[in-house]
Amino acid sequence: MLKTDVRYLKGIGPARGRQLSRLGIETIFDLLLHVPRGYNDRRIITPVSDLVPGEEFNVSGTVVSSGYLRARNGKSRFEAIVRDNTGELKLTFFHFKYIAGRLIPDVRIIASGRIDYFGGISIVHPELIFLDEKDSDARLVLPVYPLTAGITQGVLRKLIETVLDEFVSEMPELLPPDVLDSMGFGNRGEVICRVHFPDNPEEGERARRVLALEEFFVHQALLKHVRTEAAERSGIKMIPPAGSLSEFVCRLPYSLTGAQQKALDSIAADLEQSLPMRRLLQGDVGSGKTVVAAAACSICCRSGYQAVIVAPTEVLASQHFRTISGMLEQAGIRCGLLTGGTKVSDRRNLLESLLDGSLDVIIGTHAVFEDRVVIPEMGLCIIDEQHKFGVEQREKLLSERDPSPHFLLMSATPIPRTLAMTIYGDLDISVLDEMPPGRGSTTTRVMKRDARNQVYEFLLDRLRNGERAYIIYPLREASEDLDLKDAATSFEVLKRGPLGEFGIGLLTGAMKPEKKLEVTGKFVSGEISVLVSTTVVEVGLDVPQATVMVVTHAERFGLSQLHQLRGRIGRGDRDSWCFLMKGDDCGAEGARRLAILALTNDGFRISEQDLQLRGPGEVAGIRQHGVPAFRIASLIDDSDLLEMAAAMASGSNSWESLKNEYELRFGGLDILEI
């Protein structure tokens, strides 16, 4: 019954069904768990003299007059004037069949609703409590729900009230009774009733926390299950010839940082086990993840297996191919590049050499996920910027393979612990928390638009000095709706100006793969010194000579996203500058956000701020994938519950009994069973 579509409920037609669907409500289960965003405690009364238009208030007073009025269009309405000892308020009703007879002079009421200014302060269609009617069953504490156009609080409250009566008893118990008891509730039905209609807001919040705990618990139980299953699979023990890893490391033009060495030690230890590795390598932009990946490949290939490296874009895949093959081919390890843009004949050769084992490492985009790409001796799979891929894709590469390949994910999106526990709770984590030495500093300045000439002069100066620059726009093409600069138009303008002399190129996501590679190739080689682009350069491009970045309409970007963008500069030994240009309509809030970037280069701090300001779904790049859609729990406010849920899940084997609940909640299994 809980899975029943709400449209089968009495009184819900197609239009209402669509509105509910906009709120994420499809089933009766969804409706039961459409938790209020707060409560209106109607015992908290505001004097009429303190009312402000646009906000919701409760007013208590006596009706002094009431009556019908007819508007010019012939429609009539009913108005009542209510007085308290500070002033008068008008209540207006366009539907008044039931109300008119009761709203008569001397009746005492509490009226609740949003204050409008409409021929004096007024509330249109207030919710009423009649204080003199003894057996009034009006609730003093009302739930306030997230709404969408066309649905009012009243409608939703009624609907949920009906559904609670009829269906709440069908909700199966979920949390252990002692946990429920310790949080002050007897059973799940009671929790759900109380979250909607509590005696006081505190009780409602307590109920919400129980439901948040449930939600984390279900998700943590899944992660526990995935870990348990993974631990049962047989892996590949990799035993490279003695000394081959240190040989690889010695040949590098630099020595590894302490953090790189530590991560590599963990990886080498994992690869020796007969248990498949499942590890996340997390490190801020520029922390040097690529060389760690290459070292892992060398262990794999020197042990006689093949490795796969997947990157989210062609540009990044080709760059990885250049860097990694440069490091590996010296050791006799053969690498190939496979992307959507690979020519048919080249592709055939690649696939053949994968099959006959003459190719050791295949580097590419999601093209390597295709079925016809057969990697017979796959021992290691590395995914860069893993959050750009779905969990399904990552598991597809691995599923049904026995023994199971080792698995390394890389991510430059530093995320707070709560988020990591949620997204990567099924993985071991290594963190590169140390930057390679010898880097110049990066200075970030937030600038007003009228300072752009100064920035421009500065930029020209750096270019004359032989350095390179990125100019970033929020859009790739002009848009009629948004009055924002776009990359394509600006490129046309800039290339005719003084910047043109230094060679300037355009890189946007919509360009053909060959074109993208051509432009980045020119920027890497120095044939052009200015790259005009969008967030496509956000991931991974490594050009140490680039020292200046100008971001227009910087307030349009998320903090983590800007941090990723900024990671494209400051990669060489020279000092770098990042200019965040504020748009004219950047408000105080936007300016405050940008100021955080000027203050710190620490990606973890930035993403924590981003998480607080914009919520988990918006933290750069993770939006598309990976963050389960928690409907009740907040990764910011309920982090204590997450810890509690993780502890509960690790101590139990309750997955089987929670599977159904998981599907109801998260709309199917987003982590494939493996």
How many other CB atoms are there within 10 angstroms of residue 74's CB atom? 6
**Closest CB 293 distance from ligand ADP, rounded Å:** 8
Q: Which is nearer to Mg ion, 341 or 540 (CB)?
A: 540
- Please return the burial class of 456, using the count of CB atoms within 10 Å of its CB with bins 0-12, 13-18 and 19+: middle
Residue 34: contacted member of ligand ADP, Mg ion, none (CB under 5 to 8 Å, by partner type): none
Dihedral in degrees, nearest 10, Cα atoms 234, 238, 239, 243: -150
Return the HEC string of 283-315.
ECCCCCHHHHHHHHHHHHHHCCCEEEEECCCHH
Compute the distance between CA of residue 216 and CA of residue 232 in angstroms, rounded to an integer. Answer: 24
Q: Decide whether 260 or 552 has the Cβ nearer to ligand ADP.
A: 260
CA dist 573 and 562 (Å) reads 21
Give the nearer residue to Mg ion in terms of CB position, either 143 or 540: 540
Of 47, 184, 189, 436, which lies in the binding site for ligand ADP, with binding defined by CB under 6 A? 436
388 binds ligand ADP (CB under 6 A): no
Rounded Cα distance, 299 and 126, in Å: 71
Applying CB under 6 A, which of residues 267, 285, 362, 664 lies at the interface with ligand ADP? 285
Q: Site mask, ligand ADP, residues 232-271, x = CB under 6 A?
A: ----------------------x-xx--x-----------
DSSP structure class, residue 437: S
State the binding partner of 257 from ligand ADP, Mg ion, none, CB within 5 to 8 A by kind.
ligand ADP
- Nearer Cβ to Mg ion, position 142 or 565? 565
Could you say whether residue 571 binds ligand ADP (CB under 6 A)?
yes
> Of these, 286, 341, 405, 416, which contacts ligand ADP (CB under 6 A)?
286
Min. distance of Cβ 142 from ligand ADP in angstroms? 51
For residues 323 and 393, which CB has a smaller minimum distance to ligand ADP in the complex? Answer: 323
- In the complex, the smallest distance separating the C-beta of residue 549 from ligand ADP, rounded to whole angstroms, is 15
**By the 8 A CB rule, do 92 and 122 touch?**
yes
Nearer to Mg ion, 113 or 540 (CB): 540
To which residue do tokens 């009423």 refer?
128
Sole binder of ligand ADP in the list 36, 204, 288, 379 (CB under 6 A) = 288
* Six token digits for residue 204: 């409602």
Region binding ligand ADP by CB under 6 A among candidate stretches 280-288, 329-337, 579-587, 657-665: 280-288
Adjacent-strand bridge partners of 262: none
CB of 597 to ligand ADP, least distance (A): 18
- Given the structure tokens 């996203």, which residue do they identify? 561
Between CA 491 and CA 558 the distance in angstroms is: 23
* Residues numbered 389-418 forming contacts with ligand ADP, rule: CB under 6 A: 412
* One residue of 34, 219, 278, 289 binding ligand ADP per CB under 6 A: 289
Q: Ramachandran region of residue 150, left (φ > 0), alpha (ψ -120 to 50) or beta?
A: left
Range 511-540, binding ligand ADP (CB under 6 A): 540
Q: How far is the CB of 238 from ligand ADP (least distance, A)?
A: 22
**Amino acid letter for position 450:** D
Per-residue burial over 513-544, b if 16 or more Cβ lie within 10 Å, else e, is beebbebbbbbbeeebbbbbbbbbbbbbbbbb
- Output the DSSP codes for 34-76: ---SEEEETTS---GGG--TTSEEEEEEEEEEEEEEE-TTS-E
What H or E segment, with its residue span, contains residue 548? strand 546-551
Residues in Cβ contact with 144 at an 8 Å cutoff, skipping those fewer than 6 apart: 36, 37, 38, 39, 40, 56, 153
Closest CA to 36 of 145, 157, 152: 145
Report in angstroms how near the CB of residue 176 gets to Mg ion at its nearest: 44
Name the residue nearer to Mg ion (CB basis): 36 or 540. 540
Least distance between Mg ion and beta carbon 476 (Å) = 23
Q: Of 540, 570, 572, 621, which lies in the binding site for Mg ion, with binding defined by CB under 5 A?
A: 540
> What's the closest the beta carbon of residue 285 comes to ligand ADP, in angstroms?
4
Tell me the CA distances in angstroms from 240 to 237, 277, 297, 332, one per residue in order.
10, 16, 11, 14
Least gap, CB of 335 to ligand ADP (angstroms):
16
Q: Please, which of residues 335-364 interact with ligand ADP by CB under 6 A?
A: none
Q: Is 601 in the site for ligand ADP (CB under 6 A)?
A: no
CA angle 486, 487, 488 (to 5 degrees): 100
Q: How far is the CB of 267 from ligand ADP (least distance, A)?
A: 15
Nearer to Mg ion, 403 or 544 (CB): 544
Which of the ranges 45-53, 146-154, 294-302, 539-547 carries the binding residues for Mg ion, by CB under 5 A?
539-547
Residue carrying the six token digits 């008119």: 100
Minimum CB–partner distance for residue 540 and Mg ion (Å)? 4
List of residues contacting Mg ion (CB under 5 A)? 540
- Contact positions toward ligand ADP, by CB under 6 A? 254, 256-257, 260, 283, 285-291, 412, 436, 540, 542, 544, 571
